[in-house]
Amino acid sequence: VLFEPPTTFKAGYPHEYIVGEVSEKWMKSQRVWIVRTDTSLYALLGICTHLGCTPNWLEAESKFKCPCHGSGYTMDGVNFEGPTPRPLERGKIGLADDGQIVIDTAVRFRHELGQWEDPDAFLKFAG
């Protein structure tokens, strides 16, 4: 029996995610959005970096918006409006032996510290 800490979960296969879309599939259970761009896939934590509320993904406006004090973030997770001083955080992401995506929300990567460049902060695809 494999022990997996509760912060780690399998999120299906990369091909299940559509390029250009923000998936809310894991938002309720894991508080994570999965974003697939043309060259990468990453896990954004649904925790506002102002005071910790849960933002909403507004597809029509292509942004995350926090209902508490109005902080807004781009699809990348970068803050551009409201009181929050910094971007959303990303969770650790990798592939399991069976090819499924594995995410660990306890290991976090912060853009303002240059950590989004870390190989564990995203999956890379040929563009």
The region of 13-21, 46-54, 73-81, 96-104 touching ligand FES under the rule CB under 6 A is 46-54
The single-letter DSSP state of residue 63 is E
| Binding-site size, ligand FES (CB under 6 A) | 13
Beta-sheet strands, E only, within the chain: 8-10, 21-23, 32-36, 40-45, 56-58, 63-65, 72-73, 79-81, 90-95, 101-109, 123-124
Enumerate residues 6+ apart whose C-beta is below 8 A from 121.
42, 90, 92, 93, 109, 115
Contacts with ligand FES, 56-85, as mask; x by CB under 6 A: ----------x-xxxx----------xxx-
CB of 66 to ligand FES, least distance (A): 3
Using CB under 6 A, which of 9, 11, 17, 50 touches ligand FES?
50
Q: Which residue, 76 or 118, is less far from ligand FES as judged by CB?
A: 76
Chain positions contacting ligand FES, by CB under 6 A: 48, 50-53, 66, 68-71, 82-84
